[in-house]
Amino acid sequence: MTARPLDRRLAVAPMLDWTDRHFRWLVRRITRHTLLYTEMVTTGALLHGDRERFLAFDEDEHPVALQLGGADPADLAACARLGAARGYDEINLNVGCPSDRVRHGRFGACLMAEPRLVADCVRAMRDAVDVPVTVKHRIGIDDLDSYDALCSFVGTVAEAGTDAFVVHARKAWLAGLSPKENRTVPPLRHDVVHQLKRDFPQLPIVVNGGIASLDAALEQLAHVDGVMIGRAAYHDPWLLAAADARVYGAAPGAATRDAVARELAAYVERQARNGVRPHCVTRHALGLYHGVPGARAWRRALAASGTSEFFTVSGAEAATEP
């Protein structure tokens, strides 16, 4: 398989229960070029579970990356092959999730304490596939949070041929803080990620954490190779509407929210014919009209919609209700 060239200047972060194929479909109506990520999929789930459920995506989603969670090089290589064969443009290894469940499974952020194991995992995946293999990690964990330790981790993992590093600019406390608290309590240190790029100029470095607008993303691009936006893009996906023009210098994506709403109506109908409940799709569109008159009516209509009949009313009509 020949790898598609990837432009990493802007990406939407992998988010559990949020960045499923239906949300990615919605975002792709708004921006054609922003790199999208799946939710994290564990190697166990992929090797022993419902592969179609975890790997299925719409061809229109490209460019799209598969994020894996695991710590066994052979299992990760097998899952990387599955992802590449399905057509994913990148395989990403999660070394940043701080949840207890992930930590007890010996993967996620706790792997920052084992850089040689992470390197072995990356090397195994690189040997298995032709698409890029990347790593998403924190700037540190617990008391292993010095800049020297971060550089040692990145240097060791880079030797395995990692194609890019996505760096969440917060450390993680693996004991004492919940995953939600780990997204807000440890201070943001974008400066650390900027320094990392200066010290490793040959490595593609993408910054993640606390970036909530295109203006902020463009400011970050003066220091790093790419920016990853997370929850802000989920709650207000229209903030990406100008991304193609402002970040990539390309034609804008969707012209209006109403145009996206009409496409969503047809998509819900298609998915319903395949047995997908409308709510599985529409829950991701609650923020489509964020910040504009009628947004509350739009959310109320979507939340009350148990069937696709709601979409006999266009998005424009729903969003402009008094």
Residues catalogued as catalytic: 97
What would you measure as the largest C-alpha separation in the chain, in angstroms? 59
Bridge partners (DSSP) listed for residue 92: 67, 134
- Token pair for 313: 């009313």
Length of the chain counted residue by residue: 322
Residue found by looking up tokens 């993680």 in the block: 172
Q: How far is CA 176 from CA 14, 99, 150, 285, in A?
A: 24, 11, 22, 34
Beta-sheet strands, E only, within 184-224: 205-208
User: CB within 8 A of 94, min separation 6: which ones?
Assistant: 14, 40, 67, 68, 69, 102, 107, 108, 136
How far, in Å, CA of 230 to CA of 18, rounded?
A: 10
Q: Please classify residue 151 by burial: count the beta carbons closer than 10 Å to its beta carbon, then call 0-12 exposed, 13-18 middle and 19+ buried.
A: middle
d(CA 120, CA 115): 9
Backbone angles phi, psi at 220, to 5 degrees: -65, -35
162: amino acid identity, one letter: T
For residue 63, the one-letter residue type is P
Among candidates 247, 236, 261, which has minimal Cα distance to 311? 261
